[in-house]
Structures are given as C-alpha cells and as structure tokens.
Amino acid sequence: MKFFTRTLLLCLALGLAYADPVPQHDTAADDGALPDRCKGIEFDAITPDEKGNTFFFKDGHLWKGFHGPAQLSNESFKELDDLHHIGHVDAAFRMHDEENKDDHDHIYFFLDDKVFSYYNHSLEEGYPKDIAEDFPGVPTHLDAAVECPKGECMANSVLFFKGDDVHIYDIATKTVKTKMWPLPTCTAAFRWLEHYYCFHGHNFTRFHPVTGEVTAGYPKDARNYFMKCSDFGHGGDGKIPKCSEVKLDAITTDDSGKTYFFSGTMYMRLDTHRDGLHGFPITRAWQEVTNGVNAVFSYADKIYLIKDDQVYIYKSGAHYTLIAGYPKSLMEELGVEGHVDAAFVCPNEHTVHVIQGNRMRTVDLTATPRVVGTDVPLPLSDIDASLCGDDGVKVFKGSQYFRYDSPMILAMGRIAVEPQPITSAMMGCQD
C-alpha cells in the first residue's frame, strides 16, 4: 500500500485501456550493423533481472528494456562469451524462490548443456555448471524457460520448453513432470504481471501456466506490444489525468500480499511495481464479474467481490477460482442488503467492515448464519473504497483519502479527519 499513492495515476494513464502490455518507448535504432527487432526478430530468450529490467536476447546481442538499440550480450554478461565461446542464449529466467534467499532473483542462462547463474550482473561462484547438476531431469539444448511462482503454479516452478514438450520443474522437490501443450514451438518465454507469453517468430501467444491453454485471439505480433515500431502498435496515448479526477471503486490486499485496485471494468496489481504496472480487464482474473465492482475485500485465502446485490467469492490457488454455488445475494452471504460502497478486513481478523452511505456495519465471517454485529454512523459519507493494513484504515473519497489508526477510531469519530489530497508528487498526476 505504501507505494499506492505513487502509482495509481501511472496505472490509470498507461493501463486502463489495454488488455496486453503496451510499454511506451522509443523506436529501436538501426545503424546498419545491429539487429533491429522492428524487422521481426525471433528472440532466443527473454528475462527480467533482479531490478525488474527486461532483457531480450538474439544471437550475440541483447536489448535492455522495451526501447533502445541492440547491444552486444557480452557487454552485460561477459562470461557467457568468455567462458563458453557461444554467441547465443538458449533460454533464460529469473528465479522465484523466496524460501531460498541464496537463489531468489538470480538470473539463470542456459547454453547447450551448461547453466550460468548471475546476480547483479555478476557470475556466481562455481558457474557454469552442467544443467543436470543444478536442474536434474531437465534436458539440454533448451528452447525457452520461464519462472512460475506458487499461487500461479501449484508450487514454485520453472517451465522449460523443448520442441513440443514442456518440462515442469518443481524447485523444492527437484522433480520434473513432462507435458505436451497446444502451443507453438516457443523460442522464448516471458512472465509479465502474472501473465505468460510464448514467443515464436515475431509473434507471441498468451497461455495458462498450469493447463497450457491458449487464450483466444492469439498469436499477436510482438511489435505491437513489446516495443514501439513505425507502422506498428495499437495506439492509445494515455493522458495523465488531473489529481482532482482520481477515483477508484475498490482496493484490497490478499493473504499472499497481492494488492489490487479496481476502477471501472479494469483492475491492476500494485505490488508488481518492480516489473511494471498495467491495467487488465477484471474478467481476465475473475471472469464472471463482467461490469465492474462496488466493493472488494480479502479473507482466509479468498477474495470477495461485491457487485450490486451479489457476492462473488473466489478461492486463491494457482489462479482465482469461483467457489461453487456463487454468486449469492448480499443478504444470504453477509446478512446485509442495499448498496455497498466499500468493505475491508484488517490483517489477522475475521470481521468485515461494510460501509453503506454514512454507516459502517460489522459482520463476523466465522459465524453462521451471518448477521450484522455493530451498526455505527461515520463522520463522512460517499466513500469510494477502503483498505485496512498495518498502518491503519484508509478510506478513499474521490481525489482524497482519510487515514484512521483503527476501525474503532473510524467508527467513534464524529468529525472527519483532515483529508489528504492526492498530489502530483505522490502519484504523478497533474495538479
């Protein structure tokens, strides 16, 4: 939440019109000697580093980020050439293993039968190694690789691609399961903001990292999305709105620490700021919720989305899954009726605070049936969204927010605290 106020306007400006990444950047330079990805390159590998910078590899060259000309790979990762004398990368990924800090965020490069581990662009001691030593059961001469954290896959995993096979490597158990998915032959793979992309030729295809299911409408030309090239791109120059125009419908942080905000029919992950920020349709993650939300809160590995008089409950897992029997009515699920403006659950608690107009009602989520506990007036009304965290309760109203140390102080207050206006320094909006 601490970076929410720095990023919301950037999110609104860059993301809310699109369903796929559209980084804003310069056209790649072509000086006659360096490869130009705007001419339709088939990438060898794509990976972010520990700072979130994305590298695109082709033969002995790479591109840093979504703009700029190609550079020699050995200028950034010199040992790939010095030690192995190979001018290309077969596959690469950034390790996601928060339980093992020694490996977390390291970049792994695969060249023929060898693997290189880098951190902060420095080769780790003892590398290169045989692939079989570090990743037993994974084949050599790979085509592509991509990390898949627990919550998106069933466990912290790496997806290795070779030909028609996908080798799913469990990081903790060091076991491999091999599957055949209906994908093109991937020469590179990339995870970006919880979405998975298989690159083939100058195109890419989005796929589900657990089932391999291909999303409708693919493949698409990478030049329209991952770089800006003349005669390519699906437009949409996002204008930064005025700070006085900021408005969101809901915000929540789930038990795994993922923070989402909702505006209109779009949502955005706020805790992915390292790798970029981008808006996606709510239906991409919660496909049954088709017309935006009124309120959202998280509790016990579930996320509750409220729209009109309906409550949709999704269980966390590899991806959010609607619980059987839902949606249900507000009265049946929470014991309240009428329009809900906002709702929140504080960390390690089991009470949801439901804000309706200028009143706040509490409901014990462990009780059956659900009934309203307390019903108290609030010192303000027309609240748009609310969130409870370690730093207290924040309620959002238009382009301002109000902070209270606890739900009790919010409930007992008879005079609204001084509002904190959203400013350009906080969020990059226009004053």
What is the structure's pLDDT at 327?
A: 97
Would 109 be classed as within a structural domain? yes
Residues 186 and 261 occupy one common structural domain: no
Average pLDDT over residues 259-276: 80
What is the structure's pLDDT at 309?
A: 95
- The domain containing residue 351 runs over which residues? 243-427
Could you read off the pLDDT of 59-74 as tens digits, one per residue? 888 999 888 888 888 8
What is the structure's pLDDT at 318?
A: 67
86, 112 in Cβ contact below 8 A? Answer: yes
Residue 31 CB-density burial (10 A; 0-12 exposed, 13-18 middle, 19+ buried) = exposed
Residues 194 and 251 occupy one common structural domain: no
Residues 124 and 261 occupy one common structural domain: no
The DSSP code for 426 is: H
* Higher pLDDT, residue 172 or 17: 172
Would 97 be classed as within a structural domain? yes
Phi-psi region of 382 (alpha: psi -120 to 50; beta: other; left: phi over 0): left
Q: Give the model's confidence band at 100: pLDDT under 50 very low, under 70 low, under 90 confident, else very high.
A: confident
What is the structure's pLDDT at 365?
A: 97
This prediction's pTM: 0.76
What is the structure's pLDDT at 8?
A: 44
How far is residue 355's CA from residue 393's CA, in Å, rounded to a whole number? 13
How far is residue 208's CA from residue 148's CA, in Å, rounded to a whole number? 11
What is the structure's pLDDT at 147?
A: 96
3-state SS class at 425: helix
What is the structure's pLDDT at 9?
A: 39
What would the two tokens of residue 304 be?
A: 């509750």
Would 231 be classed as within a structural domain? no
Residues 173 and 251 occupy one common structural domain: no
Q: Give the model's confidence band at 402: pLDDT under 50 very low, under 70 low, under 90 confident, else very high.
A: very high
3-state SS class at 35: coil
Residue 99 CB-density burial (10 A; 0-12 exposed, 13-18 middle, 19+ buried) = exposed
Residues 215 and 285 occupy one common structural domain: no
What is the structure's pLDDT at 87?
A: 64
Residues 81 and 164 occupy one common structural domain: yes
Q: Give how many domains the chain has, as a whole number.
A: 2
What is the structure's pLDDT at 133?
A: 96
What is the structure's pLDDT at 235?
A: 41
Residues 161 and 290 occupy one common structural domain: no
Q: Give the model's confidence band at 382: pLDDT under 50 very low, under 70 low, under 90 confident, else very high.
A: very high
Average pLDDT over residues 405-417: 87
Average pLDDT over residues 210-239: 79
Residues 252 and 341 occupy one common structural domain: yes
Could you read off the pLDDT of 153-163 as tens digits, one per residue? 989 999 999 99
Q: Which residues contact 218 (CB under 8 A, 6 or more apart)?
A: 204, 205, 206
pLDDT at 130 over 90: yes
How far is residue 85's CA from residue 223's CA, in Å, rounded to a whole number? 30
Q: Give the model's confidence band at 6: pLDDT under 50 very low, under 70 low, under 90 confident, else very high.
A: very low
3-state SS class at 325: coil
Would 189 be classed as within a structural domain? yes
Residues 127 and 253 occupy one common structural domain: no
* Higher pLDDT, residue 236 or 377: 377
pLDDT at 387 over 60: yes
Name the average pLDDT for the chain. Answer: 85
Q: Which residues contact 168 (CB under 8 A, 6 or more apart)?
A: 153, 157, 158, 159, 160, 176, 177, 178, 179
Would 337 be classed as within a structural domain? yes
Would 35 be classed as within a structural domain? yes
108, 90 in Cβ contact below 8 A? Answer: no
How far is residue 362's CA from residue 7's CA, in Å, rounded to a whole number? 31
Residues 214 and 250 occupy one common structural domain: no
Percent of the chain with pLDDT over 90: 57
Q: Domain holding 95: CATH number?
A: 2.110.10.10
